[in-house]
Chain A
Amino acid sequence: MTDGFGLADGFRVIFCEEPQGEPEGKICVLSVMRADEAFSPATLEILRAREVVARERLNDLSQSEEW
């Protein structure tokens, strides 16, 4: 990842976030990958799966105000 704060160059952070105000806004980190690591079909499927799970939890938790 070459952008922002928090990780070394050469890594990617894949995450989804809720568009709320900072810093109360929540994110779910889906994966940290090396920048030279390919997005294979299997990896993409895994990331999509994680996004579905993460978004469901973000929504459930924000609705229940337990987050």
Chain B
Amino acid sequence: MANTLLRDKLLHDDQQTVARLDALACLFEWMRSWPHAERRRFLARLAECSDAVQQVVIKLLGVIKSPDTTPAERHRALMTIADALFINPDETDGGYGQDLAVSESYAAAKVPRLAREVEKMNTQEAAFAQRLRELMQAKRISQQELADRAQCSQPAISQMLNRACRPQKKTILKLAEALNVQACDLWPDIDVSDALDAVASFQQPGYVMTPEEAQALADTSTRNPPKIRAKSLPSRPRKQG
């Protein structure tokens, strides 16, 4: 009787249940070659996850199983499952995901053009920190005072000065306003982002471009437009030392 209730409650005779069992079969087939301990570890991780993450993992198993999936996509799906289940914590110092600075360095080592951009970014970031420090000294503004004016925290100012994090564009704009200087005085390439912000803003329904924005759009028309929403890269926490 108990078995019947359990079966009726958990195993509905519907397409969804069939799909889930199919995914489960896929999972067990995949794990067949694993050592027993690894299977138990994997299943334990899966059982500990929330329903949402479990569904994600099962969906990704479907991606892996699909004949339309490319090897690169399969690799990404596997890496995503490994991260979702936190299978390899030792590789990330016990933290989740991958450290962005490490990832950036790894990618730069493989892609020369990216390496040049990373170097350029680091140079600009260093110049930003130096200019910010010089402006604060010249205007005799403390970190706390600047933080109050720019509506951020004093530790945030300290982190930027010490290059412990990279500022977002909006923060640079606030700092420039607080210091009564042009944003490009803090970060010279900020004009590039201004132009692209104009592209993003006119895409809102009913929005009418200003002449400056129209010019910015014209200036960027030779580039390939992004197919997804792109934004300034936010702060990047860094490991100290």
Report A's interface with B, CB cutoff 8 A. Answer: 1-15, 17, 21-25, 27-29, 31-32, 35, 39-43, 45-46, 48-50, 52-54, 56-57
B220: chain A residues at CB < 8 Å are 2
B41 contacts the other chain (CB 8 A): no
- The stretch among B2-10, B27-35, B77-85, B132-140 that forms the contact with chain A is B77-85
In chain A, what residue has the closest Cβ to B96? A57
Complex Cα distance, B102 from A1, in Å, reads 19
CB pair B228–A6 under 8 Å, yes or no, is no
With A6-B233, A8-B114 known to touch, is A45 a contact of B68 (CB < 8 Å)? no
With A2-B226, A42-B68 known to touch, is A22 a contact of B231 (CB < 8 Å)? no
B-side binding surface: helix, strand, loop or mixed?
helix
Minimum Cβ distance to chain B for residue A8 (Å): 4
Complex Cα distance, B121 from A18, in Å, reads 24
A12: chain B residues at CB < 8 Å are 226, 228, 230
Minimum Cβ distance to chain B for residue A50 (Å): 6
A52: chain B residues at CB < 8 Å are 52-53, 55-56
B239 contacts the other chain (CB 8 A): no
CB pair A46–B159 under 8 Å, yes or no, is no
CB pair B232–A4 under 8 Å, yes or no, is yes
Complex Cα distance, B231 from A2, in Å, reads 9
With A2-B196, A6-B166, A21-B152 known to touch, is A46 a contact of B235 (CB < 8 Å)? no
A-B pairs with beta carbons under 8 Å apart, 19 shown: A3-B193, A3-B226, A3-B230, A5-B189, A6-B236, A7-B117, A8-B116, A11-B114, A22-B156, A22-B170, A23-B160, A24-B153, A42-B69, A45-B77, A46-B60, A46-B73, A49-B60, A52-B55, A53-B56
A-side binding surface: helix, strand, loop or mixed?
mixed
B107: chain A residues at CB < 8 Å are 32
Minimum Cβ distance to chain A for residue B144 (Å): 16
- Interface residues in B98-133 by Cβ distance below 8 A to A read 100, 103, 107, 111, 113-114, 116-117, 121, 124
Q: Interface code B202-241, partner A: CB below 8 Å = 1, 0 otherwise?
A: 0000000000000000001001101110111111100000
CB pair A8–B113 under 8 Å, yes or no, is yes
B171 contacts the other chain (CB 8 A): yes
B100: chain A residues at CB < 8 Å are 29
Give the 5 A-B CB pairs with smallest separation, nearest first.
A4-B232, A6-B233, A8-B117, A23-B235, A3-B230
Complex Cα distance, B80 from A8, in Å, reads 24
